[in-house]
Amino acid sequence: MLFSFSISAAQSQPTLESKLEALQCHFTWDLDEGPSKLFRVRDDLVDIGTEEGNRWLGHIYNLRGYIQYKLGFTEDAQSFFTKAAEAFCNIREADEGPWLVVNYGNLAWLHHLLGDQVKSQDYLSKVDALMQKYPSPPQHELHAETYAEKAWTLMNFSRDKQLLAVDYFEKAIGMQPEMVEWNSSYVLLLRNDFRNIKKGVEDEILKKMRIANEQDPENLYLAAHYLEQRAKKEDRIDEVEVSELRRKILRNPVSSYSGLRVVLAVYRNYVSYDAAVKLVEKALENHPGERYLKKCAAICYKWKTRESRPEQSMIDKAISLYKEVISLYPESSLNPKIHRAKIYAKRDQGTAEQMFQDLLKMDLEPAEKQMLYYHYANYLFFDRRDSYRSIEYHKKAAEIPLQSSFRKRSIRELGKVRDRRRHQMCGEIKEFLENL
């Protein structure tokens, strides 16, 4: 009798696993990344904040739960998945609905991985019940809510899957065009490739941004990006409009979705570095303990140090603030460490070089190596006047077979050296680029 029960249990196990694999949730969306990427996305999500009224709050908690599980914090994962369900029900003002399909799928996977197959099966049954009660339209594989959450997740997690995210948003919006926040995120996703698109498409995206901005007037993040794209196109800003947007941002809670960082870039490009610094310092006066604002301030001080003759006091401020930012983002601090080293080069070349050497010895993921090699190559060229070693590190960045903005930039810099035909390494670079 015991023997036949064991056979029955063994036969049922593959069925449970096949059902789990068929779920639409974060555990089946191919989101596996190394720890540094997971920590970086986690910190990005924390900086978005959890203010009431954020229509993406349930999605934020779902993604944070998945990341916490991947990082080994299983209790935190379950807590975030529970918060996600609560947030969805509060936002949708209903106890159940298709928006819970992904959340229940996450919980089914979590309990399965923790060894509690009874609870896992319970959540599988809840998913089945929801899908029967709220089926997707015949012409679509998934429900609109699932398409939207998958699109938002890929948008915030996987840069190499942005086109897929666009497709999912279009399907979701096609089914439920009244969901304003979906359309706002969709046009922001389209804007990501703004610099690389043809003029006709650029005009079409601007039109979509204008419509989304009119439909979602309280979305200051969208408003800031719309203002920035118009400024780029027209090479000027409406000072009254940008001042009004600045006032609204400063009145709102601190968040990476507040639009502040975008407005700082607008000030930098169309007003002055000093105006950007003044704005971020005003924000810090209002919220002195916010780490995200300190990161924004460090970036503004970095811009100031790029002036032809930066003041020593500004260099010291930038170095000090970057040191603080590194302590505030301990698991995702490679980028601020790189910029602190580059700023140090304006004060002490020996210390800057040692900082870079320490970073080069770190065990980094491929994307991190590309970023470090690119910045170190620029440091070698501009600060050390060492074109040979600069070329060496641009080649190292380009050799890593991972598509990224840093790889593209390094290839572009190598192409410039090749095309000028003045450097002794022109022939070597030409052969290198042909064999990439």
Does pLDDT of 195 surpass 70? Answer: no
Question: Does pLDDT of 193 surpass 80?
Answer: no
Question: Is residue 190 predicted with pLDDT exceeding 90?
Answer: yes
Q: What is the per-residue pLDDT for 201?
A: 77
Q: Are 429 and 417 in contact (CB under 8 A)?
A: yes
Mean pLDDT across 13-40: 92
Instruction: Give the Cα separation of 434 and 266 in Å (integer).
Output: 38
End-to-end CA distance of the chain: give it in Å, rounded. 64
Contact 414, 391 (CB under 8 A): yes
Residue 313 neighbours by CB distance under 10 Å:
8
In this prediction, residue 202 carries a pLDDT of 83
317: left (phi over 0), alpha (psi -120 to 50) or beta: alpha
Q: Check whether 355 has a pLDDT greater than 60.
A: yes
pTM: 0.93
Helix/strand/coil (H, E, C) string of the chain? CHHHHHHHHHHHHHHHHHHHHCCCCHHHCCCCCCHHHHHHHHHHHHHHCCCCCCCCHHHHHHHHHHHHHHCCCHHHHHHHHHHHHHHHHHHHCCCCCHHHHHHHHHHHHHHHHCCCHHHHHHHHHHHHHHHHHCCCCCCCCCCHHHHHHHHHHHHHHCHHHHHHHHHHHHHHHHHCCCCHHHHHHHHHHHHCCHHHCCHHHHHHHHHHHHHHHHHCCCCHHHHHHHHHHHHHHHCCCCHHHHHHHHHHHHHCCCCCCCCHHHHHHHHHHHCCHHHHHHHHHHHHHHCCCCHHHHHHHHHHHHHHHCCCCCCHHHHHHHHHHHHHHHHHCHHHCHHHHHHHHHHHCCCCHHHHHHHHHHHHCCCCCHHHHHHHHHHHHHHHHHCCCCHHHHHHHHHHHHHCCCCCHHHHHHHHHHHHHHHHCCCCCHHHHHHHHHCC
Dist. CA 163–CA 151, nearest whole Å: 10
> pLDDT grade, residue 426 (50/70/90)?
very high
- Cβ-contact 64, 110 below 8 angstroms: no
Mean pLDDT of the residues in the chain: 93
**Of the listed ranges 1-15, 92-106, 122-136, 386-400, the one predicted with least confidence:** 1-15
Judge whether residue 62 has pLDDT over 70: yes
Pairwise CA distance, residues 191 & 232, whole Å: 12
Cα(333)–Cα(113) distance, integer angstroms:
30
pLDDT of residue 8: 47
Asked if pLDDT for residue 7 goes beyond 70, the answer is: no
Cα angle vertex 340, ends 335, 342, to 5°? 100
Residue 96's pLDDT is what? Answer: 96
Q: What residue type is 283 in one-letter code? A: A
Give per-residue pLDDT as tens, 98-121.
999 999 999 999 999 999 999 999
Tens of pLDDT, residue by residue over 208-234, are 999 999 999 999 999 999 999 999 999
- Which tens digits make up the pLDDT trace of 247-298? 999 999 999 999 999 999 999 999 999 999 999 999 999 999 999 999 999 9
Residue 63 has pLDDT above 60, yes or no: yes
pLDDT for 200: 66
Q: In sequence order, which residues have a C-beta less than 8 Å from that of residue 37 and are 6 or more positions away?
A: 365, 367
pLDDT at 9 over 90: no
**Which region, left, alpha or beta, applies to residue 53 given φ > 0 means left and ψ of -120 to 50 means alpha?**
left
In this predicted model, what pLDDT tens digit does every residue of 121-179 receive, in sequence order?
999 999 999 999 999 988 899 999 999 999 999 999 988 899 999 999 999 999 999 99
What's the pLDDT score for residue 3? 40
CA gap 23, 365 in Å, rounded: 29
CA triplet 261, 265, 266: central angle to 5 degrees?
A: 115
- Taking residues 346-366, report their average pLDDT: 97
- How far, in Å, CA of 395 to CA of 216, rounded? 45
Q: d(Cα 141, Cα 173) in Å, to the nearest integer?
A: 14
Res. 199: pLDDT tops 60: no
Distances (CA, A) of 202 to 171, 205, 208, 242, 259: 22, 5, 10, 22, 21
16 versus 372: the higher-pLDDT residue is: 372
